[in-house]
Each structure stands twice: as C-alpha cells, then as structure tokens.
Structure 1
Amino acid sequence: MPRHITAVALLLGTTSIALGQDAGEGLTLDPIILRAGTEKVASSVPQSVSVIEAEELNEIAAGNIGDVLAQVPGVAGVGSSSFFGQGFNIRGFGSDEAAAGEAGIIQLIDGEKKYYQSYRQGSFFAEPEFIGRVEVLRGPSAATLYGVGALGGVIAVETIDASDIIPEGQNSGGRVKLGYSSNPDSVVGSVMWGWRPAQDFEALAAFAYRTIGETEDADGNRLVRSNSDTPNMLLKARKTFGDQYIEASYLHLEAEGDDQDFNQLEGSQVGLFPGFPGWGVGDILTRDQTARLEWGWNPQDNRLIDATVTLSYTNTIKDVQQGDKPDEPIIDSLLGRRDYALAKLKAQNVMDLSGAGYSHYLTIGAETYKQDRSSSGYSASHPEGYTRSQSVFAWSELEWNRLTINTGLRYERQKTEPKDSAMLEDKLGDGKLNAEALEPQIGLMYRLTDNWSVFGSAALVNRVPTVDELYDSHMGGAPSPNLKEEKGKNIEIGVSYRAGDLFAAGDEAAMKLTLFRNHIDDMIVRTGLPAPTPAYENIDRAYLRGGELEASYRSGPWNIGAAISVVNGRNQDGEDLNTLPNNRLVLSASWQATSSWKFGMRSTLAASRDKPVSATNPAGEDRAGFGTHDIYAIWTPDQGALQGVEVNFGIDNVTNKDYTPATYLLGPAAGRNFKISLSRTF
C-alpha cells in the first residue's frame, strides 16, 4: 500500500542505517521510499530525514512515542518519560515553557496534523503497538507538503497496514502479543488481524489494552503516577476499483486514569515553593481520535494524473476531575475538559513530467482546515479560539545526470479568533489575527562520484502565533494578541558517502555530515512576568546553528552505527536560548548471532548544557552531562512448533543512571526499566 509522499534523506546511524545504490546493485541498507510517484533510495535526496521502520521499532520495544524517537539524532524529549507527558524538541525547537517552540514542529499521524497543548500535560499521544513507521524531517526544508511554520521539522507517524500483518502468499494473518515493563509499571496486550479476500480489497483490525502505573527515578522515588487503563483501537479498509481506490481508517486512543498526577511532566512536586501543596491528582480522561477517508485515482495510461483527495477529522481531549485523595486536590482553574478538534480537506496531484535523460515529478495541491480549541473550565488557562486556514502548494523533484533539484512553494492564509470566553481587555480589541505565510524552499544534491555527494538547501519559513500564545493569561501575564509571526531562514550544507565491499565482501558503509544555520526574526518567547505585561512577546531575532555527523557500517551479522548531534542558539543579546538540547553521541550495535537469536545495544553520551535564567529555572541551574545504555535480546525460532513465536527482552538505562535531559523543565528521567514481551504471528 503506498505511503504518504514525503521528502527524505540519508537514514541516520542509530535507526536503520542508510546507504545504498541504485536498485539491483546489491546494497540493502538504504530504505526504499515512495517519493512523488517513484521509488528512490533515501540517500539520493538532499533533505535530512531519519526513518524508523518495523525492524527497528521491534528492537526498541517502545512503551511510548518518546522511546521511539529517543535515538533519532537532533530529536530530544521534552517534558517527561510519562506516556501522557510526551513532547519533542528538534534542533532546539520545542519546549513546554513556551508554546512557540512546540508549534514549530509539525506532528502527523497517517498524514493528519496533531497538536495539543495543555498546562503541565504532554502534546502527542500514540499507541506504540500500532506504529508501523516513523519519519523525522529535521529542519524546515521540504516541509512544503505538510504545512507552514515547521521551523524545527516534521514528525510523521504511519500506522500499520493489513499488508504488514498478512504473511506472503496468504489472504489473512494476525499477531497476538503480551508484554510487561517495570518502569513505568505497565502491562500491554494486543491482537491484530489482516484480511485480503481478493486483490482489490483488504482490511485491518487492531486492538491494544495497556495498563500504566508509576514511573520511578534511579533512586526508586516516585516521579509520575499515570494510573491508567488504556484500550486502543485501529481500523482500516481499502477497496480498489480499477485505477481508483477508496481508503478509510479510524484510530482511537482512550485512557482513563484514577488518581493520576495532573502534572504529567514532573509529578506532584509538593513543596516546590513554600506552602505549595502540589499539583494534585485527579480522574483524568485522555482521548485521541483520527478519522480519514481518502479517494485516489492513478490511471495507468496518463502520466499526468496521480490524484488523492482526503477528508479527515482529528480530536484530542483531556477531561480533568478531582480524584479520591482530598489531601491532593487539583486547583479549580485546572479542572474541566480541554480539546482540539480539527476538520481538514486536502487534494493533491502528482504529474510525471519526465523525459529523455531526466526524471521530473511535480506535485500540486490545496488544503483547508478549521481547528476548534475549546474548554469547559477556566478559559484563561486554556483560552478558546478558532483557527481557519487555506493553502496551496507545489513541490518539484528534478533529477538530471548527477544533479538532483527539489523546489517547493507553499502559500497559506490563517485567521485566528478568540471565542467570547477569552479574557481579553477592552483595549485589545476583538483579538482577531489575519496572517499570510509564503514559504519557498530549494534543495540541491550533486553526485561527485559513485560514492561521494554534496548537498545543500535553503528555506524561508513563517510561523503564525497559536491560540495559546495570543490569548493565554493564566499564571501571570496578559493576553498577547499583537504578536507578529516568526520568520525563519534556514540554510543547510553537507556531504555524504556510501560504498560497499570496503573491508570484506558484501560489507556496506555510509557517512553523512550536515551543517545547518537557522536565523529567526520575531521569535516568540514566554515573558514569565505578571499582567499587564503580555504572557508572550516577540524578541528581535535568534540564531540556531549546529551539525550532525552520522556513520554506519554493516558486515555479515554485524550492524554498527554512530551519530553526533550538536546545536547551539542565542538571542540578539548573545544569551543562550532555553530550549537547547544536550549535544550528544549515540552509538548502536546489533549482532545476528544465529538465525534465531539477535543481540543489540544502544548508548547515549550527552554533554552538559548551560541553562539560562527563566521562569521555570529562576536560579539558572545547569544540566549535567550523562551516559545511558540500553540492551536487548530477541529470540525468534524459525522451525518446529514454536515457529512464529518471538520473545523480546530488554533493559533500558542498564546502569540506573540518575540524569535530567536539558529539554526537561524539572525533575529527573526514569531509572532502570526491565521489559519483556511474547508474541505470536499466524
């Protein structure tokens, strides 16, 4: 089944390491990606993307979406290791202190935009059992197809398809699984079934039930109580009618937590400041829904038509009520239901304009959506408002001899307006914001030799302020309806290398170096000051620069990877930005010892990070460097009565390291975690 069109580049060292040549030349590590109607190896395009596919997802054995992304260079977790406290940072964009950073990352599930921000909560909820593939585009280059404002990048999660479950040559198949992890204390069970009664129809039904308890730090102290039962469901069906198809899907996550910490980022934090009773515990419902209906038409006798039209609806809610512990109440202003509902219509067409000696694919499209942010509680802590958007875009991919040229242009109009409940002062007027964004992008790659390539890209990005930034007036600060859009200028240059048969017959190696610089005018930051000072303001400019060096090598049963990611950023006064992640080195190795046994390890070595004084770090405390190590073993008997069984055992943070990533607001990360799962395919 075709995947969503995406711009991808060389796969990085700690995921499936990318390298390869043209199809048929024997190298296997470079993944095949569907790009604008034609399959290409990932390393043949000039943008920077990591791809995590089924094999790597199985090795990670994730308990939450953060586990999946933890090994991707340039990406760091924001918030906590809690299932309900997940947020992300890409190259210095992303922070729960200021929605500006998080809004600079586009988060997608099956191509549909997901964005949720509520005080002391996570922003992205996903059932790991349903994830079939993840692509992370670092930086704004080639984000034309996804939306404006991707200063940090794009996280695109694809759920499993029926074809991922049905064995080759069969018309149906399934998988059952039972797993346990110690930190957080959780159990998961899942069952999936794929059905293909005919070549023109297939369907998938997947169910997962997850219980999530407490997370502890390295000293055994309680960090976060999730205390949830989480039944989740994924349904898909696809029917083909000659050159056309219709596809429908529905994804549902439902978590009911009793006496769950309201603060899923740092836990209760009793005594955080003198007299503070803690954030309290409550009965909290988390619900995330994604519904899609897509029609496609690709006549074989017309290269100018490969069209899709998608109608979708997504909604993410949190409903917070007082729990059963009267000594741990939640502040009344934080109670109630908060949600984001988004209805979207998108149409696009891919034209094959290739000719003698060159290939050229042109994608054109249009999109419109309406987002409704609502709250049943105190509106100042979660201001209500509408965001309406209309956009058109074009994306060109041209390959001629040794040169690849990718260009994109997206134009978007947004209208943001508060609901009557928003607490705006009279002098601020109606608070409506009408904004336009025009984003041109270009990427070039030139193959110097069969092994060496150089590449570069440039992009202009405009990010429109969010409802939260415009109208938030909770915990100090007045609404900020006069904010200006952020304007980013991103430049990347790099060099890549790929080859085979270097030290032994059949071995494969790859290396890629990427350097980037992102200049942001009118960057939006939280002031941390009381009213009448606005809660958010524009600073004149900020600078983010850094690089990523990735290398990988495979020989026989061994697969080895390494990646270094470095990012630094300052504002116009030369002060460090508060959203910078740790500079780090990630190492990975796996050994296919026999046809049934596979062993592996992953290590993260992070440098310390100086932290400036901010609203959440008034003392300006720095974050120390750290090193963590994960190991795993997978047993898959390939014959006899146990064929189709898999036992997956792993230990995260083997040394039980006590550490706090630079992108966490407060509090340590989780301590050692033992995990084991048993699955059977049939």
Structure 2
Amino acid sequence: MLGGTTLPALAQETAIQLDPIVLRAGVEKVASQVPQSISVVDSEELETLQPGTIGEALQTVPGVAGVGSSSFFGQGFNIRGFGSSGTAASESGVVQLIDGEEKYYESYRQGSLFVEPEFLKRVEVLRGPSAATLYGSGALGGVIAMETIDAGDLIAPGRTSGGRVKLGYASNPDTAVASVMWGWQPADDLDLLAAFAYRSLGETTDSDDNVIVRSNADTPNLLLKARKSFGDQYVELSYQHLEAQGDEQDFNQLEGAQVGLFPGFPGWGVGDILTRDQVARAEWGWNPADNRYVDATVSLSFTNTLKDVRQGDDPAEPILPTLLGRRDYELWRLKAQNTADLSGAGYSHYLTVGAETFRQDRSSTTPSSSHPEALTRSGAVFAWSELEWDRWTVNSGLRYERQRTEPGGSVAISDQRVDAESVEPQIGALYRLTDSWSAFGSVAFVNRMPTVDELYDGFGGGAASTGLEDEQGKNIEIGLSYSAQGVLRDDDQVAMKLTLFRNHIDDMIVRTNRPAPSPSYTNIERAYLRGGELEASYLTGDWQFGAAVSVVDGEDQDGAILDTLPNDRVVLSAAWQATPSWKLGVRSILAAGRDKPDGDRRAGFGVHDVFASWTPQQGALEGIEVQLGVDNVTNRDYVPATYLAGPAPGRNVKLSLSRRF
C-alpha cells in the first residue's frame, strides 16, 4: 500500500489510478471525492503484503494500529485511539465486518477477530464515527470492512471457470499455508465458488529468537458461495468456516506465557484450544431496470465464534480453572434496506433507508466473573442520503438503535436487565474548489451502549456496573484532498488527502480495578482525542511512491494521558516495475515514542520491509506468481504503544508461489 492509497488496475492494462474506489449506496466514487477519511487495501496490495493475519494486511494504513500480538489468534485493532486494549470489553469502539456481517468476540486475552487472509480480496477502513449509520452504532473509532473473493475474481474473460492454487511459507510466526480456489459460471445467471485454505501455525519469536507466543495449531478454512439471478432479482448464499485446533497453545495469545509476571505467577498456561468461526448468510435482492426507486436487499445471517479451552499435557503450565471451558458468541441478524435513485436535472441523489434486528447469545460452560453470560437483543432503523450537485457533495445520515441486555443465570453479581438506546445523526460535505482540489468537513454524534462485560464483569471482586451511561462521542473533521495528472511530468499522477479530527467523548467507560462495593466499570466525565492523517501517492513511469502520516493525542478531563493512544507514525514506500515481470519495493514504518499514564514510556522505532514480485507474462510459466518479502529486515526490537506488553516479532521471511488455471 502506498500510504494507504491503493493502485488498482483499470480496464486498460496500462492505466493505473492512485485514488482508491470506495463503495457507497449510490455509485462508486474515488476516495478524494468522499467527505470522509478512507483507505482501501485491494487484491493487488494483499498479494504483495502476503498477510498471515488481518493485522498484517492493515499495518501500513494510517490511523490503524494492531493490538496484542502478531499471533493469528491474538488480533485486535485500535483506530484513532479507540478499540482493543487487550482485555475484554474494549473492541466495541471499532465495528469489524466480513461481507457485511459483524464479527465481535470478547474473551480475556484471546483476541477479537479470526479471519483467513487467503479469502480476502479487499479491506476498506473508514476512520471516525461517520460510518455508523449504515454499519452499526457505537463506531467511535471507525469500521473495518472486509470482502471475500467471488467467482468472477478467478475467471478470465471469455471463460466459464477458473481458479488458483497457492503454497506459502513465513518464518515468524512460523507458518505454512496452502490454498485452492475455484470459480464456475455455467450460465450467465449462475456463479459458484469453492475455496479451501490450510494453515499450519507455530511460534512467534522476538529479535533475539525468544518465543513470544505459541500458536501451535492446524487451521483448515472453507469458503462457499452461490449466486443465482432471476431476471432483475437474485438470491445469494455464502458460508465461511474457520476451525483451528491448538495443541499446547498459549492461553494468552496476546502476550504469551508471562511466567513471573508478578511474584509466584506460574504463567497463563498452555492448553488444547479449539477456535471456531462461522458466517452463514442468505441475501435476496431486487433491482428492476424500469424502476429507479427500487434497489432492495433482505439478508438473514448467522455468525458464531467460540473458544473451547482445555488443559494441556504440561502440568508445569496449567490454565486457571475459571479460564477453562467453552465460550460462544452466537449472533442472528435480519436486515432489509432499499436505495432509491431520486436524481433530477443537474443533481444526483441516492437515499437508503433500512431496518435491522439482531439477537446475540453469549454463553459459557464454565461460570466466570471475567466472562459473564448474557443475551442481547437489538433493533435499529436508519436512513442515509447522498446528494451531489454542481461542486457539492453532501452526505447525511441518522440511525436509531435500541438494545436490551439480560444477564445469564450464571451471573452472580446481578440479575438486572439493562435497556439502552442510541441516536446517531451525522452530516458531511465536500466542495470541489477546482478540478484538482476539494475541501471537506463532517460532524457526527455517536452513542456507544455498554457491553456485556462492562455491565456484568466482576473480575477482581468488583460489583456489577448496571448504572453505566452510554459513551457519547462528538466528532468533527475537516480536510483537503488533491488529485491530478501531469503535475511534474506529462505521465505522472498525484493523489493526496489530509484529514484533521477532534473527538469529544462524554461519559467514557473505563475499568476501575477496585473491589466491591465499587463497580468494575465506571464513567469518567469526558475525554478528548484529536489528531490527523495525511495520505499521499505519486506515480511516474515505472515508479510508485507513497507516504502516510498519522498523529493522535488524547487526555481525560484532568489532563491525564489516555492509555489507548497509538504511536504517531510515518509510513514511506517505493515500488519499481523493473520489467513487465519483475516488481521490487520497500516500505518503512517510523514511529515516535509514546508516554503512558503510569509514567512508563514506549520508545520510538523504525521498521523496514522489502518485497519482490515475479509474474511471467508469456510462455509456459504464464499464470505463475512468486512473491518474496522480508518484514523487519533489520530485526529491530520494539514494542508498539498499543501492545499491553512486548516485544513485537523479529525478522520475518515470506515466500509464496501461486498458479492460476
């Protein structure tokens, strides 16, 4: 990724566009013409990055920081200072979607998102709360929207079927992966897809070759899709299944064993841990060619994420009994929406209205104060408008959501059910100053309703926190964007986007770490987050250059530094298309140090990666693709500010070989 700006190929083989295409209710638009801070990682960039985890796919996106570890099972995210801090109940400030379905898991020190990167073709990051209208309430940090491959992505023009086989290896974490994908279009109105990936995971080590986290798992993954059209209607079915059986796997997938963390602590232990993640989805759509007011979809989905933790064979590394057992997150969702084209002479206007309801059942076979059982029901209605005329683009939205949470029978500290509601209005506008320059701004109000952990967690002896107020965020953004060709040379292209933001949070929810009768969580009066992101890309001849800068600062009402702040970063990249078959590149992440509220300081760091791609264009080897990369070339020892502990992984050598058929 060049500073978070993708370089997708256009229909013409030689044309490259620096501005990524973003998907909206009306028509596709380039990022510079949307009044929001957006980055896109497309399929070409995913191939170059060779991500072993979703965190690696987003490591160069400005404003986004990984949390926890590089373990496949320890993934969490922080956007603009919101998101996971490694413990439970901290993921809800970032909405995570895969093919439009929300993925959300809270389990103490065990990650929040489990995704097979081989199945991804695109990841879109929408920073800030202005994405909440369509994607879900409480998105104070933003949205990470992942899309999986379709049959058409594998089939060459003029053919009815096609596929890809791939073998890959990475040294750190120790990983071997194999995948096969096949798409078939037996008729113009029928698309079929089957994909399988098998990932063998080992250990993650630091720069001194010391083991950080033991993943030790075999992970088969399956993706199935079918789409059938009936004139102007269609039915689409999909199913994703990830299953990982860990053997002597660290319970703590964020920090590893941590033996001796405090006097007499034997470590978090190792066990036989099953991780299962499922997404089943059915969608009906209707878009009649003779009625521009109807573009309707209705979807029904079921997702479930579970961890089943059992003791390992090493008696010297036991897992605490309260951390054993199976923890499930079952989520049913029904959603309906329609986009009407209300355009007229001299303007375009798309209006999306919809409603959704969901039911989340959080269960555990082992009663635990740190993982309370509960049932959450929610219903929402929303409206989103996209209006464009002359030099103006105005997007506005309103979402209302109501939620009821009831504790399970195993929750001993409270039997009180909690009702909450959220009203989230927003508006954003962009004005095209010239053909190249645009100015934009937005205002969004977001309510994040308390999660199950925040309401009923009694870990450490704290009382229930059923009296919590919603977090209320008020976000203001302003910015400039620039896109032009022929700036320094006749054949060059430039794209740039600068965004400045300020987020004021009332009643921010924080853990008290105090015993009963004090509640486990409480509201602090207010907190502030402010900063900015700059993305810039430049293309000339066979060279591509990129830069991205992300800065964020935050404090509470007393001026105390917030603990969730990421490093301020600069990401630089350069890629050279040496020949039609060879592409070489380098990228660097330069991070400033960060003070922590406890007086500690995380030192700054510089991490450098190199990569090379070989894609023969003719002859018997045409269709083969070889990707080679080395992350952290200098084997730097460092700890990101969003990690609870460290260090981060040392050098990682990656190699993959794929063939299309």
Question: Fold conserved (TM > 0.5)?
Answer: yes
Offset at residue 101 of structure 1 (A): 3.9
Distance 1:26 1:19, change over 3 A: closer
1:53-68 correspondence runs (5 A): 53-68=42-57
Q: Distance in 1 between matches of 2:87 and 2:388?
A: 41
Q: Which runs of 5+ in 2 are unaligned?
A: none
Partner of residue 424 from structure 2, selected from 439, 462, 472: 439
For residue 565 of structure 1, what is the aligned residue in structure 2? 550
Offset at residue 564 of structure 1 (A): 0.6
| Code of the aligned partner of 2:6 | S
Distance 1:328 1:26, change over 3 A: closer
Q: Distance in 1 between matches of 2:586 and 2:16?
A: 24
Offset at residue 26 of structure 1 (A): 7.2
Distance 1:266 1:64, change over 3 A: same
Offset at residue 165 of structure 1 (A): 0.8
For residue 119 of structure 1, what is the aligned residue in structure 2? 108
| Counterpart contact for 2:5–2:535, Cα < 8 Å | no
Offset at residue 527 of structure 1 (A): 1.2
Matched, 1:380 2:369: yes
Measured against aligned partners, the alpha-carbon deviations of 1:307-326 in whole angstroms (never above 9, x if no partner) come to 00000000000000000111
| Code of the aligned partner of 1:581 | P
Partner of residue 594 from structure 1, selected from 579, 582, 589: 579
For residue 524 of structure 2, what is the aligned residue in structure 1? 539
1:336-375 correspondence runs (5 A): 336-375=325-364
Q: Distance in 1 between matches of 2:5 and 2:271?
A: 38
Q: Distance in 1 between matches of 2:78 and 2:655?
A: 29
Offset at residue 432 of structure 1 (A): 1.0
Partner of residue 137 from structure 1, selected from 123, 126, 143: 126
Distance 1:12 1:435, change over 3 A: farther
Q: Distance in 2 between matches of 1:333 and 1:101?
A: 21
Partner of residue 285 from structure 1, selected from 271, 274, 288: 274
Q: Distance in 2 between matches of 1:41 and 1:15?
A: 11
Partner of residue 474 from structure 2, selected from 473, 489, 498: 489
Offset at residue 45 of structure 1 (A): 1.2
Where 2:595 maps in the other structure, the secondary structure is: coil
| Counterpart contact for 1:463–1:486, Cα < 8 Å | yes
Offset at residue 18 of structure 1 (A): 9.4
Q: Distance in 2 between matches of 1:633 and 1:41?
A: 28
1:313-352 correspondence runs (5 A): 313-352=302-341
For residue 211 of structure 2, what is the aligned residue in structure 1? 222
Q: Distance in 2 between matches of 1:475 and 1:109?
A: 34
For residue 213 of structure 1, what is the aligned residue in structure 2? 202
Distance 1:540 1:17, change over 3 A: farther
| Counterpart contact for 1:379–1:423, Cα < 8 Å | no
| Counterpart contact for 2:19–2:483, Cα < 8 Å | no
Offset at residue 535 of structure 1 (A): 1.3
Partner of residue 4 from structure 2, selected from 14, 39, 44: 14
| Counterpart contact for 1:19–1:43, Cα < 8 Å | no
For residue 198 of structure 1, what is the aligned residue in structure 2? 187
1:214-253 correspondence runs (5 A): 214-253=203-242
**Segment drifting more, 416-425 vs 351-360:** 416-425
Where 1:119 maps in the other structure, the secondary structure is: coil
Distance 1:150 1:308, change over 3 A: same
Q: Distance in 1 between matches of 2:558 and 2:523?
A: 14
Distance 1:139 1:566, change over 3 A: same
Matched, 1:188 2:173: no
| Code of the aligned partner of 2:182 | W
1:255-294 correspondence runs (5 A): 255-294=244-283
Partner of residue 73 from structure 2, selected from 80, 84, 89: 84
| Counterpart contact for 1:451–1:498, Cα < 8 Å | yes
Partner of residue 651 from structure 1, selected from 630, 633, 658: 630
| Counterpart contact for 2:418–2:466, Cα < 8 Å | yes
Matched, 1:473 2:458: yes
For residue 617 of structure 1, what is the aligned residue in structure 2? none
For residue 613 of structure 2, what is the aligned residue in structure 1? 634
| Counterpart contact for 2:404–2:418, Cα < 8 Å | yes
Give the total of aligned pairs: 660
Measured against aligned partners, the alpha-carbon deviations of 1:347-406 in whole angstroms (never above 9, x if no partner) come to 000000000000000000000000000000133121000110110000000000000000
For residue 146 of structure 1, what is the aligned residue in structure 2? 135
Offset at residue 104 of structure 1 (A): 0.7
Measured against aligned partners, the alpha-carbon deviations of 1:174-233 in whole angstroms (never above 9, x if no partner) come to 100011111111100000000001110011000000000000000110000000000000
| Code of the aligned partner of 1:647 | V
| Code of the aligned partner of 1:209 | Y
| Code of the aligned partner of 2:448 | R
**Segment drifting more, 170-179 vs 375-384:** 375-384
Q: Which runs of 5+ in 1 are unaligned?
A: 1-10, 614-619
For residue 593 of structure 2, what is the aligned residue in structure 1? 608
Matched, 1:37 2:26: yes
